Structure 1
Amino acid sequence: MRRVDVIGIGIGLLAAGGLAFVVFRLIGADPANAGIWTQALLVAGLIGWLATYVLRAVSGNMTYHQQRREYDDAVLQKRLDELTPEELAQLQAEIEQEKSASNNSPSS
C-alpha cells in the first residue's frame, strides 16, 4: 500500500467519524452521547478490521503468502521445463514407484 493510500484512508476515517457525529446530533443526541456513539462505531469498525486481519494471517491468505506460493510454483515449473525427456521419464517412474509403495504399505 502506498503512502498516499494510507493518508487517504486516514482522511476518510476522520471524515466518517465527523459524519457519524453529525448524524447522531441530527437524530437528537446531545454532544457527549453523540461523541460516545461515534467512538463506539469507530472502535467496532477497528475491531472488525482487526478480526479479518487475524483471520487472514492465521489462514495464510495474505498477499505475501499468495505471492510466495506463486513464486514457488513458477520456480518448480521452470525446473520441470528444463528437464530433458529422459530425466522427466525417470522422475515420473520414481513418483509412480513411491505411489505404489505408499499404497501397498499397511495403514497404522
Structure 2
Amino acid sequence: MRRIDVIWVGLAVAGGGLVIYLAFTVLGLDSVDAGIWAQLVLVLGLLGWTATYLFRVVTKNMTYHQQLQDYEDAVLQKRLDEMTPEELEKLQAEIEQEALAAKQKDEG
C-alpha cells in the first residue's frame, strides 16, 4: 500500500467517525455520549476487520500464500512436462510403491 493510500484510508476512517458522531447527535444524544458511541462503533469495526484478517491468516487464504502455491504448482507442472515417458513411468512406479508401503504401515 502506498503512503497516499494510507492517508486516504486514515481520512476516510476519521470522516466516518465524524459522520457517526453527527448521526448520534442528530438522534438526540449529547456530545459526550455521541462521542462514546461513535468510538464504540469505530472500535467494533476495527475488531471486526482484525478478526477477518486473522481468519484469512489461519485458513491460509491470503494473496502471498496463494501466489506461492500457484508458483509451486507451475514449477512442478513444468518439471512433469519436461520428463520423458520413461521417467514418468519410473516416477509412477515410485509413487505406487510409496503408497503401498504407507498402506501396509497403516494396516500393520
User: TM-score category by the smaller chain?
Assistant: 0.7 to 0.9
After the TM superposition, which of the residue ranges 62-71 and 3-12 deviates more from structure 2?
A: 3-12
One-letter identity of the residue aligned with 2:54? V
Change (3 A) 1:27 1:106: closer
Instruction: Tell me which residue corresponds to 1:89.
Output: 89
Q: Are residues 1:7 and 2:7 paired? A: yes
Per-residue Cα deviation, 1:42-95 (whole angstroms, up to 9, x for no partner): 011111111111222222222111111111111111111111111111101111
Alignment identity in percent? Answer: 55
TM-score by length of 2: 0.88
Per-residue Cα deviation, 1:7-65 (whole angstroms, up to 9, x for no partner): 32222211111110110010001111111111110011111111111222222222111
Q: Which runs of 5+ in 1 are unaligned?
A: none
Q: Are residues 1:44 and 2:44 paired? A: yes
Tell me how far 1:6 sits from its aligned partner: 2.6
Tell me how far 1:106 sits from its aligned partner: 4.6
After the TM superposition, which of the residue ranges 12-21 and 52-61 deviates more from structure 2?
A: 52-61
Distance 2:107 2:7 in 1: 58
Count of residues in correspondence between the two structures: 108
Give the superposed CA RMSD: 1.6
Q: Which runs of 5+ in 2 are unaligned?
A: none
